Amino acid sequence: KAGVTQTPRYLIKTRGQQVTLSCSPISGHRSVSWYQQTPGQGLQFLFEYFSETQRNKGNFPGRFSGRQFSNSRSEMNVSTLELGDSALYLCASSGAAGNTDTQYFGPGTRLTVL
Amino acid sequence: ILNVEQSPQSLHVQEGDSTNFTCSFPSSNFYALHWYRWETAKSPEALFVMTLNGDEKKKGRISATLNTKEGYSYLYIKGSQPEDSATYLCACNQAGTALIFGKGTTLSVSS
């Protein structure tokens, strides 16, 4: 079974631009969560989607948004990029919502904002 | 917002040593506790998911225990090997809430 895939793997943008990151979950998984990882901060929760509905949202500004499609693929968008948005963005999928299911992580998208 | 604390932040052991880490979380409305291993240049890999007070899980030389009443979980590694070098993350959630991660414990094992 193919794992979680994320595209692109690396991205360089400049301040003020916007970016869209994509996550394809494991086949059959309906829950997708997004995390931001910066040095010293650990994994910060961004969003959780299940069956196209946002179930939970982390404490991030409105510039961060996301969505999930009917095939469970998910995208997150960051508008008006700031230097502090430079980070590794990870998505994880699981079979069900509720968080007792194991989450399977993708390889991440490394975003650099110049 | 749920606060998950891990200690120590990092540690260095010799091959063959046994070690353990701690994950602390609020005991109220506890739902699930996850442990992950994150090796450099790889994705976080799930180790255990625990939900019940007193749960004990084991995978090879790694085991974990859960105390939901006092809000902590221990991860034990018996006879550490260099390939155990990684960051170990715990994550916790309350019912209906997102999984919140601690900052991790980075283990370095020297041969």
B-chain CB neighbours of A40 within 8 Å are: 103
Cβ contact B104:B8 at 8 Å: no
What is the pLDDT of chain A when averaged over all its residues? 93
Q: Choose among A92, A75, A65, A16: nearest CA to B49.
A: A92
Calculate how close chain B gets to A109, using CA atoms only, in Å: 11
Amino acid at B68: T
Calculate how close chain A gets to B96, using CA atoms only, in Å: 6
Q: Choose among A26, A11, A30, A32: nearest CA to A90.
A: A32
| Stretch A51-58: mean pLDDT | 92
Phi, psi of A60 (to 5 degrees): -120, 155
**Does residue A1 surpass a pLDDT of 70?**
no
Q: Output helix, strand, coil percentages for chain B, rounded to the nearest 5.
A: 5, 55, 40
pLDDT tens per residue across span B13-36:
999 999 999 999 998 888 899 999
Interface A–B counts its CB contacts (< 8 A) at 60
Contact assignment for A33 to B45 by CB distance below 8 Å: no
Contact assignment for B101 to A59 by CB distance below 8 Å: no
